[in-house]
Structure 1
């Protein structure tokens, strides 16, 4: 429902026109930091006949986005970041825990509509977007005290994006934003399938934005 609402709002926004829009051909670059906050219930994995509930921790890292406006107020944005690192905790019914970790990169491509030129109070500039995320996992580790080759498959999913720019010059702004990303991945241990982990995080960020 969250993603459906974002898609509907984006489609509605793309039909709007305004006399004072961000002109087509504009570029913007945003440098900042984002916190990846996985959903609270990340699923259940089965190893050796034992079910383990999965908890994936959050992490914050520097990020960089570039956006090109293909039409007035309509931009194509690419999100990049240095690798995020997540702690993993597997817990069985008796409360026994197995610790692990993984790193991931989440490049995300979005189509966005910026509400520029609508005479919004304080000159703020909201935006909304929807796109696709590709998440690749690497350096997976499971601390079992023995040989454990943990693998988390790459994920492709829909991503929604909302945010607000607070301009302080005609070409500079402070941004706060949030993304919802659908991340679901199959997990294996020493080649044996364990099941699926559902991370699907909200990603919260701040950035400095420069337009050209």
Structure 2
């Protein structure tokens, strides 16, 4: 994916030099829609089960998910804008390392507000940008799989198991480029890095297990950009 973004950005540079697209200017609104893939770069604490003797598992792994990404940028000057990132809900399955079983799933929304800099703002052609901002991740619909419930029943004697994860607030960074396809239309390629840290709690009728998870995903977007 990174190589694809690099090649596409290079192609956009060459094409953009001769493109007649209008320049981004103060007061413009840029709407971007595309396929956004959240790829967790997770680092999970070990999971200590309150069994006899104690059992320690090497954390969890979280899979990728792709949804509709939506961003809107307001240019408050030719070179600077404020962007709000939204998306349809992302749903991730996770596995329990050490057991090699499906652990369950979670759903989240990661709205992100960023300040962007457009080095070619006010000039026609391609429009690269970088941004920094803050992310709030709302996590809900946490589910424990039947496999994990069975394993906890066998190890702990638990008759039920529920999962909850704390919401997260942290910094975010991004790079991207709009490659002109017309006067007000372009191809958008973008990458975000989101600092998402949460604490997971598995509650059973024989005790609770808590462990920290740094999700810290890369988010890749490929789509279209409209300038209004």
Q: TM-score range by the shorter chain?
A: 0.7 to 0.9
The runs of 5 or more residues in structure 1 that have no matched partner are 1-19
Corresponding residue for 1:103?
Answer: 107
Q: Deviations over 1:107-145 (max 9, x none)?
A: 00000011225879xx32210000000001111011214
Q: Deviations over 1:26-64 (max 9, x none)?
A: 111111111111115433233324322210111100111
In the TM superposition, 1:1-212 aligns within 5 A as 22-39=24-41, 41-48=43-50, 49-52=54-57, 53-92=59-98, 95=99, 97-116=101-120, 123-143=125-145, 144-145=149-150, 146-190=159-203, 192-212=208-228
Q: Which consecutive segments of 4 or more residues in structure 1 shift more than 3 A?
A: 40-43, 95-98, 117-120
Q: Is the 8 A contact 2:116 2:129 kept in 1?
A: yes
Task: Mark the runs of 5 or more structure 2 residues left unpaired by the alignment.
Answer: 1-21, 151-158
CA spacing shift, 1:205–1:194, aligned 2, 3 Å: same
Bigger CA radius of gyration: 2
Go from structure 1 to structure 2 and tell me whether the alpha carbon gap of 1:23 and 1:34 turns closer, same or farther (over 3 Å shift): same
TM-score under structure 2 length normalisation: 0.76
Aligned equivalents of 1:66, 1:117: Cα separation in 2: 16
Shift of 1:189: 1.4
Q: Is the 8 A contact 1:148 1:190 kept in 2?
A: yes
Q: Which has the higher strand share?
A: 1
1:153-196 Cα distance to aligned partner (Å, 9 max, x none):
00001000001110112211100110110011011112835110
CA contact (8 A) 2:78 2:122 kept: no
Equivalent pairs counted in the alignment come to 189
TM-score, normalization by structure 1: 0.82
User: Contact 2:26/2:78 (CA < 8 Å) preserved in 1?
Assistant: yes
SS in 1 for 2:60: strand
Larger helix proportion, structure 1 or 2?
2
Aligned Cα root-mean-square deviation (Å): 2.1
